[in-house]
Structure 1
């Protein structure tokens, strides 16, 4: 028996990896966060599978469900929104599984910010505009941010900023970012991207709060801030520059990828 932590990506049934769909099809038990998933994802589960929506369960009750499956010898598919490496809470879950001697593994998924960038049709790292992406979150009814990880310290770098779990505080956060990015800095808010209810809002730090509040967005959204979202006049990267290609081919013509 194994607990499979599976990245469900942005929650769209057709954006799961091949491995993810195989594990779902082979697992008699599936625990999922209904807040973030399109119900169509569950169609990959086998007929008769035990489906448990964890959005209203605490960690103790989730662990009890997994332990019961372990005693029955049944594999568990534990769906995580986005990719398990970021804001999935698997660290605290796997710690409890280790204490009980329950085996587990991880299958990566498409990160929500990557799906958002694809929908926007934008690269988040543009030469001489932004070469770093900071993934962070806002603090409200949650654990404290570590010392040194303030929003302002990240914004001071000018990197493309991706905010998770922050849409309820968008007005306050936009106000804090204006000093570093400027009021005209482009912002995008993606709600349930790649799902039937998808909504993508584009604006600037000056007006994005009005747009978000007009649509009453309160969860399942990613905020992206940075000049890369609107960059048009930028230098070309060294990767495909003429001089580099000539060097790789010895001046005999274009290189092949």
Structure 2
């Protein structure tokens, strides 16, 4: 069984697969600051769930090293017992939450079994920042593909994907977000990225993530080019998407399978 629930209107989710309960990239308060406030500061336009509304969970999964995914203030409040994260965050997490059990994954040690769910880390092919990775969560019967900034697959990644169970759910951004090349270029590939992953994975359902129109100030917001899908109705008419698309514009828990 797979269930999913938004924790904020951006990138924080509760996911349950085969009884394993996971918080993904929890950010429940305050701001996201990249490097310096004048460079990039963002904060939620819609209030996230309060801490006392967060479902009971077994693990926090951090997908990226950036503060809108690895939000230190939120993690300190949540005090998770177990964290899964890219190896690049090992030192920071151990300093922030020394009592937590930590599992780190990278291109060499890229799989771990937790509560009968296999977690596979798919490192990006990008060699310089920004670095955006993906994850597969697979209980042996069905799987979830999580790509919080989209994901471009190569031959190696395709082979890894073919080993996974049928994809029940793809979680991926729909917005196109691009910065000048000297700030990292394409941050989110938009609908072309969704189409690519739908062709590779053939998911039963697709949920958009990391698409909140947040309050923002600083250099990044002034230079960013953002293209958002026009409407739910338009998305449902896209031939390759259609009834795969699930609009998750609320904080209720929904059952996927």
TM-score (norm 1): 0.29
**Structure 1 or 2: larger strand share?**
2
The structure with more radius of gyration:
1
**Structure 1 or 2: larger helix share?**
1
